[in-house]
Amino acid sequence: MRFKTDKFKLDYKWLALSVTNVGLFMACLDSSIVIIGLPTILDRLHASIFHGIWIITGYSLMMTILPVMLGRLADLYGRVRLFNLGFVIFTIGSLLCALSQNGEQLVIFRLLQGSGSALLIVNCIPIITDAFPKEELGMGLGTNIMAANLGNIAGYTLSGVMIGLFGWRSIFLLNVPIGIAGSIFGYFSLREISIKPVGEKFDYSGAILYCVGLLTILIGLTIGNPASVRNIVIMGSGIIIFAIAIFIAFRQEHPTLDVKLFKIRAFAAGTMASFLNSIAFACGPFLRSLYLQLVLGYSPMKTGLLLIPMEILIFFLSPISGRLSDRIGSRVLTCLGLAVNASALFWFSTLNQHSSYGAILVSLVLFGIGISLFASPNVSSIMGSVPPERRGIANGISMTLSQTGSVLSVPFSLLLMTLVMPYARLSQIVGSTQLISSTELPQFMAAINHACFVLGIIVLCAIIPSALRGPQPKITGKNPTSNG
């Protein structure tokens, strides 16, 4: 039985924030918790590096190709209903991951777990946007981003401890009691307050073509050499399928991929800035870990711990940035955040084989400040610009573009590095745990520096759409009741 007292109405925004924070925390925890423990998992399951790639990538892939479709379904059938379903699927997927007997099973069950995570993440922001009044939305979203980064931090630190004490299966079993509690908490605490569209149907053909097209493009970009003939053919096929999906979207009255949202300037500018920033930002841990492990000789565990300062800064600064955006708007903060992110990349591009961890720490601090200034104000601007009945699909599109940028980030950074170092040799170095020979070290550092410099320029380019987002538009359409 759900609460119906006046006090509950006043406190609903905090209940919604608490439940969504738990869901987002768990989804982000399982994005990072596997990375440190992957060598142990592969060894115990006698799995190959191919399985290892898909144990990590498969989870992220589900959070890239599904959000648009799930966001549209949430608008039609209820965000809370799909959020709670996400908790159930995530919990079942986690249990099955823990019971896996080989690499193939773990890959399949990670895809299921990732599907549950996609349901959780794609509905968190719309639920919070529905529950919070506009003048407090930035603070609510900033707190949600804080929970996401706490999940990332916990993943890096818990992985080694739990595997050492209880074995690799414990990192998945940890999710089961929390997932069950979250499912119950969500069912009894959350309620639908969004306005559902009347008379609209789900666009099945557009959804299928969109997912297949995007998946094909991402496979062509992330498996093997993206410049090979095979990969170019795969990417070309995906682009054709994706173009057909967009063509169908223009002809549908109620499409899954609602391209009309890009007519809203704040939405279009915010999603474009987020996409460009994600391309440059997401490969940061990868490039820094290469430097710390292959150049400075640190262990994977020590490397994971040394990358945490950035997450801690984001954890503490995101709510403050969100509250600031409620007062002064998003444009100044997002542009400033992108400028700081670019400076972090330019700083990293000056490092050499004799630099210390202290030099790395400077870039981590700059990244932590930059992403804190950018992320929550940008999300607040995007979600505050769209009609309430389109918040699910709007967040789905925004999340897909951001996740696509993240998925492309590592292979794109490797592509930039191949302009300085041959692809075959670079692949051997990246896939090894051995320190780089002194003769190859200058070329490898030059490759990293080149990639970071170009990525810094891309982030500077993101300032242009961010600055053009304009003032927050007045929203047309019915607003759901926000209990604040």
Q: Which of 197, 231, 266 is the last residue of a domain?
A: 197
Predicted confidence at residue 49, as pLDDT, reads 65
> In this structure, are 232 and 313 located in the same domain?
no
Q: Is residue 477 part of a domain?
A: no
CA distance 468 to 270: 9
> In this structure, are 156 and 239 located in the same domain?
no
Predicted confidence at residue 434, as pLDDT, reads 65
Q: Is residue 482 part of a domain?
A: no
C-alpha gyration radius of the chain: 22
> In this structure, are 344 and 436 located in the same domain?
yes
Predicted confidence at residue 199, as pLDDT, reads 63
Of 3 and 52, more confident? 52
As a whole number, mean pLDDT of residues 450-472 equals 88
Q: Is residue 479 part of a domain?
A: no
Q: Is residue 478 part of a domain?
A: no
Predicted confidence at residue 93, as pLDDT, reads 95
- Per-residue pLDDT at 357 exceeds 50: yes
Predicted confidence at residue 430, as pLDDT, reads 65
> In this structure, are 238 and 371 located in the same domain?
no
Of 190-199, 245-254, 352-361, 458-467, the least confident:
190-199
Contact by Cβ (8 Å): 172, 95: yes
As a whole number, mean pLDDT of residues 102-109 equals 91
Q: Which of 197, 222, 243 is the last residue of a domain?
A: 197
- Per-residue pLDDT at 351 exceeds 70: yes
Name the pLDDT band for 281 (thresholds 50, 70, 90): confident
> In this structure, are 241 and 218 located in the same domain?
yes
Q: Is residue 331 part of a domain?
A: yes
> In this structure, are 239 and 181 located in the same domain?
no
- Per-residue pLDDT at 444 exceeds 50: yes
> In this structure, are 243 and 367 located in the same domain?
no
As a whole number, mean pLDDT of residues 187-204 equals 75
Mean pLDDT (the chain, rounded): 81
CA distance 388 to 401: 20
> In this structure, are 308 and 208 located in the same domain?
no
Q: Is residue 483 part of a domain?
A: no
Q: Which range has the top average pLDDT, 196-200, 257-261, 394-398, 424-428?
A: 394-398
Q: Is residue 480 part of a domain?
A: no
> In this structure, are 187 and 217 located in the same domain?
no
Predicted confidence at residue 433, as pLDDT, reads 57
Predicted confidence at residue 9, as pLDDT, reads 46
> In this structure, are 189 and 277 located in the same domain?
no
CATH number for the domain spanning 170: value is 1.20.1250.20
> In this structure, are 72 and 98 located in the same domain?
yes
The pLDDT > 90 percentage for the chain reads 19
As a whole number, mean pLDDT of residues 182-204 equals 78
pTM: 0.75
> In this structure, are 299 and 245 located in the same domain?
no
- Per-residue pLDDT at 480 exceeds 60: no
How many separate domains does the chain show?
A: 3
- Per-residue pLDDT at 187 exceeds 60: yes
Of 70-79, 152-161, 374-383, 463-472, the least confident:
152-161
> Residue 225 sits in which domain range?
203-252
Q: Which of 150, 166, 197 is the last residue of a domain?
A: 197
As a whole number, mean pLDDT of residues 224-235 equals 78
Predicted confidence at residue 280, as pLDDT, reads 87
Name the pLDDT band for 10 (thresholds 50, 70, 90): very low
Q: Is residue 343 part of a domain?
A: yes
